[in-house]
Structure 1
Amino acid sequence: MSGEDEHGGGGAGTPGAGRQRSRRARLFRAAGIALGCALVVSLAGAAWAYWHLNQNIKSVDIDSALGDDRPAKSMTTPSPYGAASPSPLPSGALNILVLGSDSRDGKRNKELGGGSSGGARSDTAMVIHLDEGRTKATVVSIPRDTLVTRPSCPRESGGSTSVSYGAMFNSAYSVGGPVCAVKTVESMTNVRMDHYIEIDFAGFADLVDALDGVTVTTDEDISDEDSHLELEAGTHHLDGTQALALARTRHGIGDQSDLGRIGLQQQLVKALLDQVDTTNLLTNPTRLYRVADALTDSLTTDTGLNSLTELMSLGQSLNSLSSATTETVMMPVVPAPSDPNRVVANEPEASELWESLR
């Protein structure tokens, strides 16, 4: 036999075999370096993404501003696992005040809001009550034209605002920002707001676009010159700009009041829940990042939700919530005796509703 094996290659001790081992070693080293670099880049990218999303979130320290003169916190049943083995995710009952701000800050908000406006108001107000276990929710809309007793609220610059009787509900945000909005809702309802979330025009539109739109069904044609929305009755898949126009429309539907608009806003809440259910965000990291970026970039929260970790924990705790287990209602109101274009709480029905949440 010659020095070649039956396949014609060099023997184990030949120079050819040594060169092959050397090439394989170089390839393994190159592959190891490439994988190491990829891992470093991936970890750096993930760290940057977390930092970026975390930096997006703006917050207000509502608890410190309001102190202890507030309704009691929600009472929850102790965990069956005991204090030493808490559930990995929060599951207690929770009340969250969600405001849609009509602020025109920034070019995109001005474009979507139709130009400049004096100050910012709460264009939309919803109290979201999560039942213990967080598999069911009640969304209570408060008409912005409701006349209320606006309590004295602390000012950022020091001092406080005066009590105002017969004030429009959405004026609380105008005179005292999130702190006064929360205090006014708590004064009206005697329900503690555990958290506060605010989103602006651009943020809502961008969130809907990041979710690839929402599907809604309208029972009548909508034609609103102010919101620039033209929709025939039927089912429509709306992009972010259209969905925002639907949420703001009032002159093109029903009695052209804020009450008709609330029905559309509640429909959008359920449409968003349905879209989240069907989007499978966890299996699509790119879309998940787009949604998270759009959401965090437009949010103002209380300090209890001002980190990506806290928001993720809240979101994960709502995994079992769906549109089918979410009830939407409006605070019972009647026309105000002093002004037919305004409303006041209809008692005792309104108080009974808030008592049911407590």
Structure 2
Amino acid sequence: MAEHKRVPSRRRRLLRAAACAVAALVVLGAGAAGYAYLRLDGNLKSVDIDARLGTARPPAATDGSFNLLVLGSDSRSGGNADLAGGDTGGTARSDTAMVVHVSQDHSRADVVSIPRDTLVPRPECTGPQGKAVPAAKRAMFNSAYEAGGAACAVKTVEQLSGLRMDHYVEVDFNGFARLVDAIGGATVTTTVAIHDKDSGLDLPPGEHHLDGRQALAFVRTRHGVGDGSDLGRIELQKQMVRSLLQQVRGVGLLGNPAKLWSVGDTLTRSITTDSALASVNALVGLAQELKGIGPDGLAMVTLPVTAAPGAPDRVVQRQPQADQLWAALKADRPVPEAVVAAQPRNPAQATPTAPATAPAKAPAKRS
């Protein structure tokens, strides 16, 4: 009877130790993943928009398209107090507002920036302390957030556009600066010098790679470009959005776990969402839905506006272009060519003395 060769006892012990080590790493890895998941989930802040607004809203689309409202708050509380200059009062308004419409097949996104000084009918809302805020026939768009927080801003946009805002994302000054730093900065180009003492931005002509504070100053700048209105600032914000998208695509997060963790931790600490998005799983799901949208599939426009009658430092929707724009998005069609053709020039690519698209100047109280 042939003898079976036995594995030397020392080798057996080594194999057993290796197996135990692998098992331990699996357990520890699962524990670390669980901790990371709970940590990121715990970072998120949310607002229950659906509960606050009830059923008196535009119907949600049933074809797979959806809308997302992105707001940039100019709150100066906490770490925001010494960022981006301007008034550091105790109130907060929606300094930036973008309606993002994602097409039915998720291959295209149309982004509409709403100038903060647009006069709009503001619906009745509920204030932060539960007190009713009466409706207003003509109120600055950004006052909706100040009057009733995120829910009032969403309600105002839905009334203005006729579109259901399926999701909501908000970022403040500090959060934006942290996010830009986490992904490694943003690259912008200007053919003219930009000097804005209020935002602190001081750039000579040329290409610049900005850190978080500089990028915040860039999207906050209006006095140093164009006609000094909010319309010029929106054009800078569009350039920044495109730059950030390119930067994220080039970072290679999936191949760099440490970088992925850093960005994920920063992202979840920097945003406030609606309740449906307030989990890591939901945000990952949203990212999956948006991953097919490349630079060629992104259209960014400013809501067509004109000077408000009797209030030259304010604007109102320009008709019929504004209604045509909202109708196109509601029907899941691209932005009409007439709207695209009438867009203002990017002040970062033009001289500050170029004619303004509309004779609108932002109020002096806030920058």
* Range into which the TM-score falls when normalised by the shorter chain: 0.7 to 0.9
What residue in structure 2 maps to residue 4 of structure 1? none
Question: In the TM superposition, what are the counterparts of 1:219-238 in structure 2 within 5 Å?
Answer: 219-238=191-210
Whole-Å separation in 2 of the counterparts to 1:279 and 1:113: 26
Name 1:347's counterpart in structure 2: 319
State whether residues 104 and 113 of structure 1, in contact with CA within 8 Å, keep that contact through their aligned partners in structure 2. Answer: no
1:271, 1:323 within 8 Å by CA — same for their partners in 2? no
Unpaired stretches in structure 1, ≥5 consecutive residues:
1-11, 77-91
Equivalent in the alignment of 2:308:
336
Equivalent residue number for residue 158 of structure 1: 130
Aligned residue for 2:335? none
1:149 pairs, out of 121, 140, 147, with 121
What is the 5 A alignment of 1:1-358? 21-76=8-63, 92-106=64-78, 108-114=79-85, 116-358=88-330
Query: Distance in 1 between the 2:130 and 2:93 partners?
Result: 21
Cα distance, 1:156 vs structure 2: 4.6
| 35-44 or 240-249, larger mean C-alpha shift | 35-44
Provide, for residues 284-325 of structure 1, a one-character-per-residue CA deviation record: whole Å limited to 9, x for no partner: 111111111111101111111111101100001111112221
Unpaired stretches in structure 2, ≥5 consecutive residues:
331-367
1:202 Cα offset (Å):
1.3
For residues 74 and 118 of structure 1, the distance between their equivalents in structure 2, rounded to whole angstroms, comes to 38
RMSD, matched Cα = 1.8
Using the alignment, how far apart are the partners of 1:40 and 1:149 within structure 2? 57
Q: Distance in 1 between matches of 2:127 and 2:212?
A: 34
Whole-angstrom distance in 2 between the partners of 1:291 and 1:43: 20
28-37 or 93-102, which deviates more: 28-37
Deviation of residue 340 (structure 1)? 1.4
* Mapped partners of 1:325, 1:220: distance in 2: 28
TM-score (norm 2): 0.85
What whole-Å deviation, never above 9, does each CA across 1:50-92 have from its counterpart, x for those lacking one? 111111111111111111111111130xxxxxxxxxxxxxxx2
Query: Mean alpha-carbon deviation: is it higher for 115-124 or for 164-173?
Result: 115-124
* Cα offset, 1:280, TM superposition: 1.7
Counterpart residue type for residue 54 of structure 1: D
1:111 match: secondary structure: coil
Q: 2:100, 2:33 → 1: CA distance?
A: 32
Identity %: 52
C-alpha distance after superposition, 1:173-225 (max 9, x if no partner) = 00100000000011111111111110111111111111111111113211111
Counterpart position of 1:8: none
The AA in structure 1 aligned to 2:81 is K
Contact 2:100 2:110 in 1 (8 A): yes
Aligned to 1:81: none
SS at match of 1:133: coil
2:144 aligned partner, one-letter code: A
Could you tell me which amino acid in structure 2 is paired with residue 96 of structure 1? L
Partner of 2:351: none
Cα distance in 1 for partners of 2:153, 2:52 equals: 12
Q: Deviations over 1:9-34 (max 9, x none)?
A: xxx99xxx99x923222222322222
How many residues were matched structurally?
Answer: 327
Q: Deviations over 1:202-251 (max 9, x none)?
A: 11111111111111111321111111111112211111111111010011
Counterpart Cα distance in 2 of 1:219 and 1:74:
42
Q: Which amino acid aligns with 1:55?
A: G
- Output the CA distance in 2 between the equivalents of 1:304 and 1:219: 42
Higher-Rg structure is: 1
